[in-house]
Structure 1
Amino acid sequence: MSRAAAPPTAEEIAALPKVVLHDHLDGGLRPGTVLELAAEIGHPLPAADAPELGAWFEATASAGSLERYLETFAHTVAVMQTAENLRRVAREAVVDLAEDGVVYAEQRYAPEQHLAGGLSLQQVVDAVGAGIDEGVALAAEQGRSIRVGQLLTAMRHADRSREVAELALANRERGVVGFDLAGAESGHPAGRHERAFRMLRAASFPVTVHAGEAAGVESVADALHLAGALRLGHGARLVEDLTPGEPTAEDPSGIAETRLGQVAHWVRDQQVPLELCPTSNLQTGVASSVADHPITLLAHLGFAVTVNTDNRLMSATSMTREMTRLVEEAGWSLVDLRDATLTAAWNAFIHHDEREALVEDVLLPAYTTSNGRHRA
């Protein structure tokens, strides 16, 4: 990681094109939208106006555990049970991401959680896809270009992973770019869903798995070797497979002598991308501060780190805020932001030529001044 250049300003960070690989559709609603949709169906909420509701989501999600964090989704999922509401939520998510400077995003959600209103799994995917298309069109009208793919999520504690895998494959030419496994990590190993992962591997379909958030190194190994994950959702607890080196005058942090365990070596050797979400991880107790978050150490050690939002509503965050916090609290430079952004782009679940166009035509020019010298 670089520390030579002056840190980017807040204005520079806001203007940068961004790539987000880990952003939950049901975790990114506008508080005002939750209020409106909840009123329509008579769903009770813990606050009566948008600012108070937004503050409630953030405070409750900051209780210090993944389980408490996940409880907040009862309110967002409740208002996402009709095609019209799913379209609206997806449309607004795309517009909000584009306004934040995001040029490529993958929106993940679990279709099985949106069936209470009578929709089929396919109707859920169709509604989200329609909303994404509308959001992309609205962003274009506002002069912003964004591409958004869907990641279909199966829940660890449920038994519909094979069905969701089949759904993802049936929609791979209709905007679904990958498969995800999420939910309570402890006690629900990825290996329970081996049949679904076997089907996806046979179809050459990309997979990411939430791992290394609420559970440790064993969960990461499970995601890699049993699920065949190409990316790790979070992966922050991979640091439990690192042994710090002895500090020296030249290396007071001991980073240069850090020893890696077998799983950590595999992840770094294979450059498995880590979908790290600093603010969210503080809320669930993975780290105590952005300065101490594993993302900086992992980047120093050469892991393939990316910066993500996770749940913009629950964390009251955006890509601009995540990047700004890393600069202001963890000492990141513009080079560091660029490297994480390029890593995300090169590991998006789209074809190589599309990744190359994203990098060469959109991202790299943003780090280059008019005279051709790299800003970072």
Structure 2
Amino acid sequence: MAHSHAHAIARIRKSTAETRDLQSGAMDVDASGTEARLEQTVRELQARVNEQQAILEQLRRSSQVNVQQAAYASEDPREKLKQLRAVKEAYTSLTPTVPLLPSIDSVLPALIAARTLQQNVQGSKQAITTTEAQITSAEALLRHEEAHLHDADLIQKALRDRTARLEAQIEDRSQKAPAQLAKELIAAKRAHKKGYDDEMQRLGDALNDFIDNYLSAMLAAEELGGPVVGDMLNVENETLAAGFTKKGKAKATKKPVSEKTRQRRIDHIWGNQAAIEEEDPLTEAEAADAEMRELVGVLFKTLIGPGGGRAYHHLKRDSAASRFLVRAKIAQFHPRDAQKLRLIDFGRELDD
């Protein structure tokens, strides 16, 4: 028995030394030798399997023990004690047994090492993929939290500044007489009103310039059966005078349209109110311009009138001007009556 142990240890040491030599030096691969060693290893393993199967079969024939019953502990204490003693004897008898080691020329250790390395590499790749996904998720969460922190810092700074201003105002007011405070409040309200009036005048002038220079011609083109506002940006007066086809394309006419024909068409679409006495007759763009200005003015008066933001203006007709205001989300039709229109009161939620 001692000789067997010494022989096994010697084989292990020799195999270790050979492995180190192979790792330190260049590896020579001989395909024919490797194939022969593989066949030899397969034969050794098959022989060992057959040997173990023969021993197991012999044990089954010679033993009177039921394998199914022996696999589970018996409920009888005496029988259970016998099973435990049998297990102990089996371990005691197998402990000094020399384990099966492959031969020196066997490639089984290399195959086992290759399989272990492949499993480790595959596991490492999966771990890398999982870790990269976790890092990406963590970075996105970090950016999200940094944005929240930045917003919180800005809010905190704004609150501190607001608190400081309010404290300064309270301290300043506490040192002034009521009459002086009332004068300052009235002056501030007047300054605010003047600022609002100036801004309204500026916005009104900008709206008039936009209608004059850009929108009026496009509105007139849509009224005459041409493209919708925005589809044709540069509309000339000659194009409006010639008119449009049923498909919405500009007509190509060689001779100019008579002023009487144009005036009748303008009166038919925009009405007689489009004509101004003692002045030159209006063009199509000028008639559309006047209609848009009048509509915006009426809608604004309705908005600030008694009904407030809930009152509607009853339209005389469905016009390109009203449709443009709705498409631009400046006005809205009544849910059940398309002849009623009102401006959208953007400040209603703040007022409420």
Q: TM-score, normalised by structure 2?
A: 0.21
Which structure is higher in helix share? 2
Which structure is higher in strand share? 1
Q: TM-score, normalised by structure 1?
A: 0.20
- Asked which structure has the greater CA Rg, the reply is 2
Query: Greater relative contact order: 1 or 2 (C-alpha under 8 angstroms, separation 6 or more)?
Result: 1
